[in-house]
Structure 1
Amino acid sequence: MTIQELRTPTSELPDAVVNGRLYINGEWRPSSDGATSAVINPATGEQAATVAAATTVDVNAAVAAAKAAFEDGRWSGLSGRERSRVLNKAAVLIRERAEELALTESTDVGKPITFARVVDVATAADQYEYVAALAQQLNGSVRETPLAAHAFTKREPLGVVAAITPFNFPLILSSTKIAAALAAGNSVVHKPASDTPLSALLMAEILTEAGVPAGVFNVVTGSGGSLGDHLVAHPDVNKVAFTGSTEIGRNVAALAGRNLRPVTAELGGNAANILFADADLDKAIGTVIGAFVFNSGQFCMGGPRLLVERPIYETVLGTLKGAVAGVPVGDPTNPETVVGPMASRKQLDKVISYVDGAKADGGEIVVGGQPLDLNGGFYFQPTVIAGLGNESAAVQEEIFGPVLTVQPFDTEEEAIELANSTEYGLASGIQTSSISRAHRVSSKLDAGIVWVNSWALLDPAVPFGGVKNSGWGREYGPEALESYTRTKSVVIATD
């Protein structure tokens, strides 16, 4: 690996996140019992900030504030155009405070600051801007009927939305939920991941400055277990929007189901990237590497499984060995770094366990395969593993680290079968020069999104989400906004 020099950050974290408090009903407050928890910088293993550790009392207060704000119409009663102005202002403020947000996200998650700036922050701003336009288009329709009546539909917000988000893309994956929920007129209680809560606090400050009224947006930080469960099961929560593991997603759905509350869930992924022999190999190799090392592999729509047509299998392995060895790994504050640390010690240990298991299954480590001792951080070498059977846990399960398994295939049908052979169905990829093959194969892949000759091309206008055990519902696009509304029919007799 190319190890990037360790640097001292040139700026400090914003005041709002260093000693983070809960944000409830427009006020910053400590937890009800005064408890706090440390936030660890994964690049150094040292404490970066302290945040309040909320209790169920605090969750109840946040939900009550959100419910009151919804019912009195301070936000839900505004026109779509009025909400649009506020959300557009939020997009402007996100761009103005891009450096603060990028540093916060990089420190919290360990992602390279260059990526945090040009991907995470830019995407969040785009999301608010996109839904601001959609907020003005939440229209019903007149329905022609044989009844002696005038019939029409209305689109209405749901009420209080619980947004529960994961550790890997805190800013992006919270914005997908919060921006859409607010655009539709809902109130929100946001529970960020306990390991990476900092950008949520900064966004509370930004949304308030943009003009979101008190009580409409609330943030509770703390344990993802008991706290999250209490929020999901709260009787005054009208919808749950969740991103996280499949295991936790099942529990979320079960808890919300007791109150018959709708849930959208983007869960685990283990996407296959199919490389056909007719592909532009130079371009494809770059796509393959980016698909599995981006965000240190902590990307549920990443491409950790590579399926290679047999005639080019050995060539691809040899090319990957040299190319992956040159990927810059190190301090995320260094602008040349491509792969930073894992987000936590727990996640690093998980990756080590899967790689050890792959070796025990007979896998060949083509390149990488070891943790890196860098400044006390949680680093793991970008790793390529060949020679595994399809039943290996490293192939079938979500590693969530910079690890790529490589398997050969002989026919298009075999490639499709291998790609669909796991429990997941979030994303897939096809690398080919044949447009007919791209159409044919993409139609047979069990995935919510399929990338052809690319990876992770995402835009707020293009929906994504899972099938099978990768969840249900869609983020992005008009489809996302629809899930934060309900349809009401009104029938007025004309006789």
Structure 2
Amino acid sequence: MTRVEVAGVEVSTEHFIGGERAGSDTTFTDISPIDAEPVAEVARGGEREADLAVAAAQEAFPAWGALGTAGRAEVMHRLADLIDANVERLAAVECADMAMLLRSLRARVISRGARNFRAYADLAVAYEERVWESNGTRNRVVRRPSGPAVVITPWNAPFMLSTWKTAPALAAGCTVILKPAEWSPLSCSLLCDLVAEAGFPPGVFNVVQGIGEEIGAALTRHEGVRRISFTGSPETAVHIGTAAARNIVPFTGELGGKGPLLVFADADLEGAARKAAGQYDDAGQVCLAGTRLLVERSVEDAFLELFHRFTDEHVLGDPRDDATTVSPLIHADHLERVEGFVERARANGDEIVRGGRRREDVGPLFYDPTLVIPRSNDSEIVQREVFGPVLTFQTFADEQEAVALANSTRYGLSGIVYTGSEERAERVGRGVRAGTVWVNTFLVRDLTAPFGGVGISGIGREGGDYALDFYSDLKTLQILDGTTA
């Protein structure tokens, strides 16, 4: 077995198929964003590995599905306990691999993975079949696991997002083939070790690593797959959705956002400005971030003064240092993409109010927290997702204009509203076109609530029973009244 030491932790660089580690003929280089240096050579899967992983998932599916919700919950709770016991190891590896702030990983992000497994296991056990009588029959809606599921996850918060997607699939009785992003695969490899230690039967949980256009494409077009769940870009989702449609396979996609952060004059301006400056956390690599600041015109100057004060408090640096608040971007290619957006905005005549430059004095992949005032709402910097430490600033005159601006992009994943009025919170919260709208708060998640986007931000819903239903075939069982054995 090929293992490397990452942040003092031994990590396998091989796939996990049928309960065993498996290599490939070729590898890809995993690079740490902290210093842009190689971390490991990782097994690079393709058609062969896709076939092996799907075959393993197919073989394991009947017994796992037949185990029942209580039996599956027992195994999943053991895994959750192991995640909690290994937070330090998982956090250290993910920080080295993806450069999320180490203190955040330790405090909340990794442990969310344990919460995911416990929550979905318990939800599946607590499921109550819908029962009713009609037309002289007794009726029940029965959940049946759908079969092998492919889960494709992004490079930001890879461990948490992988558990968020695989937990409901496993709880529903599906077997899983997880394809982590090639820019941050290593914490998912550690998850495989914990899966084995928890006693999951071989083939129930599989991980194949590699390039999206290779192993990802092979998995999504495979005829043995019965569900596909993806988080990533709308452009990639088009290819995955097309492949899924060819095999009539249900598909969910959480596809990023361009969230508005609306601030009304009656809001707690200091709280709103602090939260706005907080959108630079994790170098802005958060799909739910409120990247379009929309502020009522009468408080524009007061808000900006506070916003700049709080943004000035940010510290760019090593994500392992507790003093750091803004980490590096994930990869040189992504840094170039973010920089390209800002340079095109500059050329377009949009005003770069602050930032707008690389910070090579800090490290090779850092970009300054940037604020842009666009020439118009049609500017590219307003209309397309940057996924970096870049915010735009616009003003509005009234509630109607605020909602119109909030809804003026093709995205619709999330929105944030700051107001002191309960009535306005209700009106604007309903009016903003998004899958989730927070009022006077941000990133508070209830795992039973539906999660997903509208427009090009996604298709389908995850969370709670919505996720469990997605990974199930729903059967209506009708029995004629008076039927006896």
TM-score w.r.t. the length of structure 1 is: 0.94
Return the alpha-carbon distance in structure 2 between the equivalents of residues 152 and 435 of structure 1.
41
Unaligned runs of 5+ in 2: none
- Residue 311 of structure 1 is matched in structure 2 by 298
* Aligned counterparts of 1:167 and 1:118: Cα–Cα separation in 2: 20
C-alpha distance in structure 2 between counterparts of 1:339 and 1:448, whole Å: 27
Say whether residues 1:417 and 2:412 are aligned partners. no
Structure 2 residue aligned with 1:121:
110
- CA 151–326 in structure 1, closer or farther in 2 if over 3 Å, else same: closer
**Superimposed CA distance per residue, residues 113-169 of structure 1 (whole angstroms, 9 cap, x where no aligned partner):** 11122232021111111112112023423330223x443221111100000011112
Aligned to 1:281, which of 269, 285, 297?
Answer: 269
Deviation at 1:383, TM superposition (A): 1.1
Deviation at 1:112, TM superposition (A): 1.0
Task: Give the alignment of 1:80-479 within 5 angstroms.
Answer: 80-147=69-136, 149-290=137-278, 292-374=279-361, 376-479=363-466
1:128–1:175 CA contact under 8 A, matched in 2: yes
Q: CA deviation at 1:337?
A: 1.1
Q: Which amino acid aligns with 1:47?
A: P
Q: Is the 8 A contact 1:369 1:382 kept in 2?
A: yes
Are the equivalent residues in 2 in contact too, given 1:309–1:411 (CA < 8 A)? yes
Q: Quick one: which amino acid aligns to residue 121 of structure 1?
A: I
Q: Name the counterpart of 1:5.
A: none
| Distance in 1 (alpha carbons) for counterparts of 2:441 and 2:198 | 36
1:25 corresponds in structure 2 to: 18
Is the Cα contact below 8 Å between 1:86 and 1:210 reproduced in 2? yes
Q: CA deviation at 1:16?
A: 2.4
For residue 272 of structure 1, give the secondary structure of its aligned residue in structure 2: strand
Counterpart in the other structure of 2:56? 65
**Contact 2:411 2:457 (8 Å CA) reproduced:** yes
Q: What CA deviation, in whole Å up to 9, does each residue of 1:40-83 have, x standing for no partner?
A: 00110101122100121011000000001003x1x211121111
What is the Cα deviation at residue 13 of structure 1?
4.3
Distance 1:399 1:250 in 2: 19
SS in 1 for 2:35: coil
Give the conservation status (yes or no) of the 8 Å contact 2:113–2:160.
yes
Aligned amino acid, residue 275 of structure 2: T
Q: Please give the secondary structure, in 1, of the residue aligned with 2:316.
A: strand
Q: Distance in 2 between matches of 1:165 and 1:11?
A: 21
1:49 matches 2:44: no
Which SS does the other structure have where 2:385 is aligned?
Answer: coil
Q: Aligned partners of 1:157 and 1:225: how far apart in 2? A: 28
Question: Gaps spanning 5+ residues in structure 1: where?
Answer: 1-9
Q: Kindly tell me: are residues 306 and 180 of structure 1, through their superposed partners in 2, closer, same or farther at Cα, counting changes over 3 Å?
A: same
Which digits, 9 at most, give the CA deviation of each residue in 1:353-395, with x for residues without a partner?
1111121222222221111115653111111122431011101
Q: Distance in 2 between matches of 1:462 and 1:408?
A: 32
After superposition, the Cα gap between the structure-2 partners of 1:474 and 1:375, relative to the gap in structure 1 and judged at 3 Å, is same
AA partner of residue 7 (structure 2): E
Write out per-residue CA displacement over residues 224-251 of structure 1, whole angstroms, 9 at most, x where no aligned residue. 1122111011000000000000111111
Q: CA deviation at 1:458?
A: 1.7
Report the counterpart of residue 4 of structure 1 in structure 2: none
Aligned counterparts of 2:147 and 2:361: Cα–Cα separation in 1: 47
Describe the shift of the 1:113–1:374 C-alpha distance in structure 2 as closer, same or farther (beyond 3 A): farther
Partner of 1:16: 11
SS at match of 2:258: coil
Whether the aligned pair in 2 keeps the contact of 1:101 and 1:202 (CA below 8 Å) is yes
Q: Deviations over 1:187-216 (max 9, x none)?
A: 000011111111111111112211211100
* Counterparts of 1:154 and 1:203, CA distance in 2: 31
The answer as to whether partners of 2:6 and 2:93 remain within 8 angstroms in 1 is: no
Q: Report the Cα distance in structure 1 between the residues aligned to 2:39 and 2:234, rounded to whole angstroms.
A: 29
CA contact (8 A) 1:325 1:368 kept: no
Q: Give the Cα–Cα distance (whole angstroms) in 2 for the partners of residues 390 and 487 of structure 1.
A: 44
Report the alpha carbon displacement of residue 446 of structure 1 after superposing the two structures with TM. 0.7
Which segment drifts farther, 253-262 or 472-481?
472-481
Amino acid at match of 1:189: I
CA RMSD of aligned residues (A): 1.5
Deviation at 1:491, TM superposition (A): 2.7
The alpha-carbon distance between structure 1 residues 387 and 35, as it changes in their structure 2 partners (threshold 3 A), is closer
Percent sequence identity over aligned pairs: 38
1-structure distance, mates of 2:262, 2:363: 37
DSSP 3-state at the match of 1:16: strand
Amino acid at match of 1:257: A
Amino acid at match of 2:403: I
Letter of the 2:29 counterpart: A
3-state SS of 1:328 partner:
coil
Distance 1:13 1:304 in 2: 36
> Would the aligned equivalents of 1:139 and 1:154 in 2 still touch at CA under 8 Å?
no
Letter in 1 for 2:32: N
Question: Which residue identity is paired with 2:16?
Answer: Y
TM-score when scaled to structure 2?
A: 0.96
Whether contact under 8 Å (2:34, 2:318) holds in the other structure is yes
Answer whether contact 1:324 1:367 (CA < 8 A) is retained.
no
